[in-house]
Amino acid sequence: MLIVMDKGVTDREIRAVIEKIERMGFKANPVPGAQRIAIGITGNQNPLDPEEFESMPGVKEAIRVTKPYKLVGREMKSEDTVFSVRGRPVGDKPLAVIAGPCAVESEDQALAIAEIVAKAGGNFFRGGAYKPRTSPYSFQGLGEPGLKILAKVRERTGLPIVTEAMDPEGVALVEEYADVIQIGARNMQNYSLLKRVGKSKLPVFLKRGISATMDELLMSAEYVASEVNYRIMLCERGVRTFADHARNTLDLSVVPAVKHLSHLPILVDPSHGTGRRDRVAPLARAAVAVGADGIMVEVHHQPEKALSDGPQALYPEQFESLVREIRALAPLVGRTF
Amino acid sequence: MLIVMDKGVTDREIRAVIEKIERMGFKANPVPGAQRIAIGITGNQNPLDPEEFESMPGVKEAIRVTKPYKLVGREMKSEDTVFSVRGRPVGDKPLAVIAGPCAVESEDQALAIAEIVAKAGGNFFRGGAYKPRTSPYSFQGLGEPGLKILAKVRERTGLPIVTEAMDPEGVALVEEYADVIQIGARNMQNYSLLKRVGKSKLPVFLKRGISATMDELLMSAEYVASEVNYRIMLCERGVRTFADHARNTLDLSVVPAVKHLSHLPILVDPSHGTGRRDRVAPLARAAVAVGADGIMVEVHHQPEKALSDGPQALYPEQFESLVREIRALAPLVGRTF
Amino acid sequence: MLIVMDKGVTDREIRAVIEKIERMGFKANPVPGAQRIAIGITGNQNPLDPEEFESMPGVKEAIRVTKPYKLVGREMKSEDTVFSVRGRPVGDKPLAVIAGPCAVESEDQALAIAEIVAKAGGNFFRGGAYKPRTSPYSFQGLGEPGLKILAKVRERTGLPIVTEAMDPEGVALVEEYADVIQIGARNMQNYSLLKRVGKSKLPVFLKRGISATMDELLMSAEYVASEVNYRIMLCERGVRTFADHARNTLDLSVVPAVKHLSHLPILVDPSHGTGRRDRVAPLARAAVAVGADGIMVEVHHQPEKALSDGPQALYPEQFESLVREIRALAPLVGRTF
Amino acid sequence: MLIVMDKGVTDREIRAVIEKIERMGFKANPVPGAQRIAIGITGNQNPLDPEEFESMPGVKEAIRVTKPYKLVGREMKSEDTVFSVRGRPVGDKPLAVIAGPCAVESEDQALAIAEIVAKAGGNFFRGGAYKPRTSPYSFQGLGEPGLKILAKVRERTGLPIVTEAMDPEGVALVEEYADVIQIGARNMQNYSLLKRVGKSKLPVFLKRGISATMDELLMSAEYVASEVNYRIMLCERGVRTFADHARNTLDLSVVPAVKHLSHLPILVDPSHGTGRRDRVAPLARAAVAVGADGIMVEVHHQPEKALSDGPQALYPEQFESLVREIRALAPLVGRTF
């Protein structure tokens, strides 16, 4: 149930609604909008009676919400979610270009790549200190030393840092060093982790699971939001299908579908989505053309020496050229870069 | 096996190679290129010995071809296939925009839509006279009267006609009235039909089957080419996956993958690919951005009255606006429109 | 719409209903059942008014049919469809075991394998004279000479012959020599072919397309039935998924699902379903355990020399051992063999 | 690399090999077999030289292992893994029948169902105290009070308890009360959790992720094994495909495929695999017929009142009847029950 308040509503009226919800044993989630405030009710198993609320002063309407997600849905909040990370806007007109290596391998490597990213015009730096790998025998990331290197990258370049947390215990450490906490595709339904980052002060970068439906992606975002962290960036990174010409099948049509139902920003990762360097630029262009709020791409100064996912990392020149293409494309879809 | 001839090769030398291939019981497929001629050998079950040919005068090289497709592969012919249909180029810099209703319903309907398409700048007209439908109780198309209407559309607007043939016997009738024969997704592996259109003088528009791999799509094109019809346009129209936010999952990454391996042009059909009118324009833009040679979209002057697939047909204004967007996008990817 | 007639209905009453349906421009499909006759109405685009029929003498009830398939659905006919082919029952208690090579390669090969099949207890012989192959360069079957060999197999062993027809023109020839016409997975939605075999006097063996939903399979059967051929055997033969440990993913749960909705018999082909000889027996056992009406398996006396699909063909001893296992299993699921 | 030792090897020789491996910076994993001991080397990124080991006394052979999993592969240990839980064998001839409700809802509910399970002949009890749910607003399980109820069930019925742990911190509590730790499908690639249960004294019940390949399932088992917990039961529970006639597509062919490559036992969960009560028994029979080491099914004394997954829970009589069917089937596939 969503309680939409009148435009001139008073604080006391708002408080009365919240108290009533809590007395019923449910949770009230006030969502301030540009025009008016709305209050989402969560925690109820069964539908509530709209009249219970519509008779209260200051209440414009009580709407039964049919979609399983509430806080992240447009019914709750029709305007796009916009926020900024160290001054870089997300979800607004300017596109976010998040770039960097798959994994932080050394200080030299990270700084070399970060300079390429910053110079070309990327506005966020990515790099994994903890790497979820299919095999226990693959490189698993540098851990805390990797986080320290990332902090140094930010210090040197000013780029906000996006990096992955792999379990609830690990979140605190990531919070200490990073600006955005990434949840990887394999952890999209790791609910303990989602609840933990829902309590974080940092924005969350939530990757779609390899076979997650759009509803499941939004429900996972709902887990984060229901713990009161509304600063969520969704990310399409390719899904698993029968098609074997690419590592995954990048599902670009999910971008307009998400935008239709949710107010959250959604980005696209064509590096994981294709797994091949020469496919990254065409699909990054397509991502911008389809309406994504940004892209996440892997860049490496020496891809052939990368400890993970080398074949999908762009060479520096390729990244620079991609940035130029995106700069030309952005205005055609009402964006800036 | 692919026999690459010398640049200054004589006709007699070419004939000698062809005769040798035929004496061995195989088929010789000469493929003229801009620089030099090559001769593909098909029909052999087992690998041939390159030396058998390399010792012949005029032969530069005999290459064992590893990919299962030969005639449609880049190894056989490295330059893009370019041809024109009633003066409209396909596979070249100018984009092909094929538009029209799902099915021809009446002369009035077809002409009304064709005028919208022509006026907005579409350069091909599509419309089904024969409709493969999942249910035997759904509208199956007007048949020959529909083809006659299509011929009238061409007469009136000058637009070349793309329409579907459903079985080998039906091809002759389609050839009488149309300019391009479409093979629908459900018939992508209807080999009797592929062989028949391989013998046609008309170009073939071959849609990817709903769960066809890229290799299977190219092998189906190979069926057509091996009957000597090289004028083939491939079309991505969405594949079947677990994702349920759209009717199909449009696999745009197949476009650069096909271009890498094959010289054939490839277009994208975002109407069937998404099944929803409001998703067509974003994905058509993405198709152009990813490097497709054109798009096929459904347009209807009264979609709510359409006898089939109404919900995915664009309104006239939507089509005009899409054409404008494509016009702006084309130069950014080295195209014209 | 389905018109259910009274138990003691007269022929004249039945005729009156059929004439009324035809006057309305639709098609009447009488379906005799053990208890009572029903008349399906097909060809109507829009729902009909039950009262139009319920007021007629002899009519018990007029039911709006919501499922898209009618003739093949249980709503139309609740008892299982049972028929026999040269004395071998299908759909009844006895299991059908259809075995033989992928393709007929020579008279010697076919007869050798047929003797193995007959001796072990198989009750149908399979073998392709026309082979739909992904590549135009693969062995495509012997054609009519292959059909003649199959006729000789029947003469020698008494086994009814199941073989594939690939296009409408080819059906007549298959009808001349075979007992059951197979429609391959790639042709499951070749509607021209389905309509043609719907007019045949022979039963149809309809394989599920590689990515067909259950509803699509039943709709394809409906195409056959709507041309008045009700003797249809469905066949699950594996679907295409992301899983890569087998050639296809055998979807055994479709068996009870089909049985719930349709009265048609359904068999399982574990040879194509797995693509590996050593997986055939376990999955054939599972097929019987799950309730299939029979199995279709490939057997070859010299699999390593087979011209197609050798790796999935059982050795003679493996087939004999499988038949023994099925014989033991059958009574546990209320079957005989 | 796998070091296979001689039959009459001495402890000192074994120790020498282990020390050498550790000096090289890798991890030595001794795997005792019935016939001889083998030592797996893990942690090396690059292939090692077999000669380094083959020259040592007591070493029979050093084998380069090509499959990415080592400890769980048959190359490392050819005999089936067999262990027992409170006297109930797993992986041996007797089948494991794990049954109980989806979630523990109350002491009364759990005890009522457990009595049904025990009486019918089930040999393990399942029930969730922590439930990973797609929606944050769905019932999430009773938590520790649920675990206490499970312990009471064991006390009362003697049935060993299988229950899920959702995160690394939660494992200790589950260890206190349960006999087998379940890892749910959504957590199959939650590597922090896998490593934690790899250090547990309890066996692990590892469910296949909804779109996990067989190799990924075995690699996740490898994570557990590489922490030295070798008592792992794998479980097929249906995968996500395009098919829409069931909640998931139960992939029974994975059972013989896993048995071919791995020595671990594998069970099948037809309740989640189909999502419908009336499909559970046919697919449970098929699971036994295909060679699974057991089944996990949901049973509820009042399914219509269940707080989660009611529609897939068997009624008591259905469970009793299923157990009778399995008892009859078992000897046909060389099993007992």
Cβ of residue C254 closer than 8 Å to a chain D Cβ = yes
Q: Is the pLDDT of residue D141 over 70?
A: yes
CA distance D134 to D140: 10
Tell me, what amino acid is at A103? A
- Nearest C-alpha of chain A: how many angstroms from D239? 10
Of B332 and B133, the structure prediction assigns the larger pLDDT to B332
Per the structure block, which two tokens stand in for A305?
A: 């020496």
d(CA A274, nearest CA chain B) in Å:
7
Run of H or E including D40: strand D37-42
Give the pLDDT score at C160: 98
Indicate the pLDDT class of residue D66, thresholds 50, 70 and 90.
Answer: low
- pLDDT computed for residue A32 by the predictor: 67
d(CA B134, nearest CA chain C) in Å:
6
Q: Residue B111: left if φ>0, alpha if ψ -120 to 50, beta else—which one?
A: alpha
- Whether complex ipTM tops 0.90: no
Alpha carbon of A40: minimum distance to chain D alpha carbons (Å): 13
Taking Cα atoms as reference points, which of A194, A233, A211 lies closest to residue A72? Answer: A233
| CB contacts, 8 Å: C44 with chain B | 137
Q: Cα separation of D122 and D98, whole Å?
A: 6
B249 reaches A (C-beta below 8 A): yes
Cα→Cα distances A284→A236, A316, A325, B253, B291, Å: 12, 16, 9, 11, 12
Confidence class for position C239, pLDDT limits 50, 70, 90: very high
A chain contacts of residue C240, beta-carbon cutoff 8 Å: 242
- CB < 8 Å to A241, chain C: 242
d(CA A144, CA A170): 10
Read off the pLDDT band of B317 (50, 70, 90).
Answer: very high
Hey, are the CB atoms on D291 and C278 less than 8 Å from each other? no
The pLDDT value recorded for residue D65 is: 64
pLDDT by residue for chain A (337 residues), tens digit each? 788 888 889 989 999 999 988 888 888 887 766 567 888 887 776 677 788 888 888 998 887 766 678 899 988 889 999 999 999 999 999 999 999 999 999 999 999 999 999 999 999 999 999 998 888 877 789 999 999 999 999 999 999 999 999 999 999 999 999 999 999 999 999 999 999 999 999 999 999 999 999 999 999 999 999 998 999 999 999 999 999 999 999 999 999 999 999 999 999 999 998 988 999 999 999 999 999 999 999 999 998 888 777 788 999 999 999 999 999 999 999 999 9
Residue D57: other Cβ atoms inside 10 A: 11
Q: D240: nearest CA in chain C?
A: C241
CB < 8 Å to C245, chain A: none
Contact in structure between C130 and C165 (CB atoms under 8 Å): yes
Mean pLDDT of chain D: 92
Distance in angstroms (rounded) separating the CA atoms of residues A51 and A42: 17
Query: What whole-number distance in Å separates Cα of residue C1 and Cα of residue C76?
Result: 9
CB of C285 within 8 Å of a chain D CB? The answer is yes
> Could you tell me which chain A residue has the CA closest to the CA of D67?
A135
**Chain B nearest CA to C326, separation (Å):** 33
Q: What one-character DSSP code corresponds to residue C310?
A: G
A334 closest CA partner among A295, A296, A290: A290
Q: C207 falls in which pLDDT band (50, 70, 90)?
A: very high
Lowest mean pLDDT among B14-18, C28-32, C59-63, D121-125: C28-32
Residue with tokens 């999910």: A254
β-pairing, B124-126 with B161-164? parallel
Q: Which residues of C touch D249 (CB under 8 A)?
A: 239, 241, 249, 251, 253
What's the helix, strand, coil split of chain C in %, to 5?
Answer: 40, 20, 40
Give whole-number Cα distances, B73 to B69, B311, C205, C331, in Å.
6, 37, 36, 55
The average pLDDT across B46-74 equals: 81
Instruction: Give B226's contacts in chain C (Cβ within 8 Å).
Output: 136-137
pLDDT of the residue at D45: 66
Query: How many CB atoms neighbour CB B87 within 10 A?
Result: 8
* Probe site for chain C from B167, B187, B218 (most C CB atoms < 10 A): B167
**Subunits touching C (CB < 8 Å, at least 3 pairs)?**
A, B, D
Identify the CA nearest to D303 among candidates D291, D318, D292, D315.
D315
Q: What is the mean pLDDT of residues D179-190?
A: 97
Q: Residue B213: pLDDT above 90?
A: yes
Q: Which residues contact D49 (CB under 8 A, 6 or more apart)?
A: none
Q: Does residue B37 have a pLDDT over 70?
A: yes
- The pLDDT tens digits for C82-112 are 999 999 999 999 999 999 999 999 999 999 9
Report d(CA D195, CA D216) in Å as an integer: 15
What is d(CA C181, CA A315) in angstroms, rounded to the nearest whole number? 57
Chain A, nearest residue to C248 by Cα: A242
Chain A residue numbers touching D68 (CB-CB < 8 A) = 134-135, 137
Rounded Cα distance between D283 and D250, Å, is: 8
Please answer whether residues D279 and C259 qualify as being in contact, where contact means their C-beta atoms are separated by less than 8 angstroms.
no
Q: Are B296 and B268 in contact (CB under 8 A)?
A: yes
Using CB atoms, which residue from C211, C240, C242 is nearest to A240?
Answer: C242
Place of tokens 């009633």: B86
Is the predicted pLDDT of residue B65 greater than 80, yes or no? no
Whole-number pLDDT of residue C65: 64
B317/B119 Cα distance (integer angstroms): 11
Cβ proximity of A220 and A234 under 8 Å: no
Angle at D166 between CA D163 and CA D171, to 5 degrees: 70
With CA atoms as reference, the chain D residue closest to B239 would be D242
Interface of C with A in 194-233 (CB under 8 A): 211
Give the count of Cβ contacts less than 8 A between chain B and C: 87
- Has residue C252 got a pLDDT over 80? yes
Q: Does D243 touch chain B (CB under 8 A)?
A: no
pLDDT at A137 (0 to 100): 76
State the pLDDT confidence band at C70, using cuts at 50, 70 and 90.
confident
- Whole-angstrom CA distances from A31 to A26, A72, A194, A214, A232 are 16, 10, 20, 23, 15
Q: Which helix (H) or strand (E) holds A86?
A: none
Residue from B211, B241, B242 whose CB has the most chain D CBs within 10 Å, to mutate: B242
What is the average per-residue pLDDT within C268-277? Answer: 93
Greater model confidence, D161 or A53:
D161
SS3 A271: helix
pLDDT bin (cut points 50, 70, 90) of residue D7 is confident
Q: What average pLDDT does this structure show over C135-151?
A: 90
Q: For chains A and C, what is the number of CB pairs under 8 angstroms?
A: 7
CB < 8 Å to C241, chain D: 239, 241-242, 249, 251
How large is the average pLDDT for residues B194-201? 97
Among A246, A287, A329, the residue with its CB nearest the CB of B332 is: A329
Give the SS3 label for residue D165.
Answer: coil
Q: How far is CA B293 from CA A65, A183, B211, B258, B314, in A?
A: 43, 37, 22, 12, 20
What's the confidence (pLDDT) of residue A73? 92
For residue D240, the chain B residues in CB contact (below 8 A) are: 242
Q: How far is CA A150 from CA A124, A175, B99, C47, in A?
A: 12, 12, 51, 66
Residue B129 confidence (pLDDT): 96
Question: Among residues of chain C, what percentage have pLDDT more than 70?
Answer: 97
**Average pLDDT over every residue of B224-234:** 95
pLDDT of residue B54: 85
Per-residue confidence (pLDDT) for residue B176, from 0 to 100:
97
pLDDT: which is higher, C36 or A331:
A331
pLDDT at B127: 97
Helix, strand, coil proportions of chain B in percent (round to 5)?
A: 40, 20, 40
DSSP D308: S
Cα separation, C58 vs C35, in Å, equals 14
Subunits that touch chain A (at least 3 Cβ pairs < 8 angstroms)? B, C, D
Instruction: Give percent helix, percent strand, percent coil of chain D, each to the nearest 5.
Output: 40, 20, 40
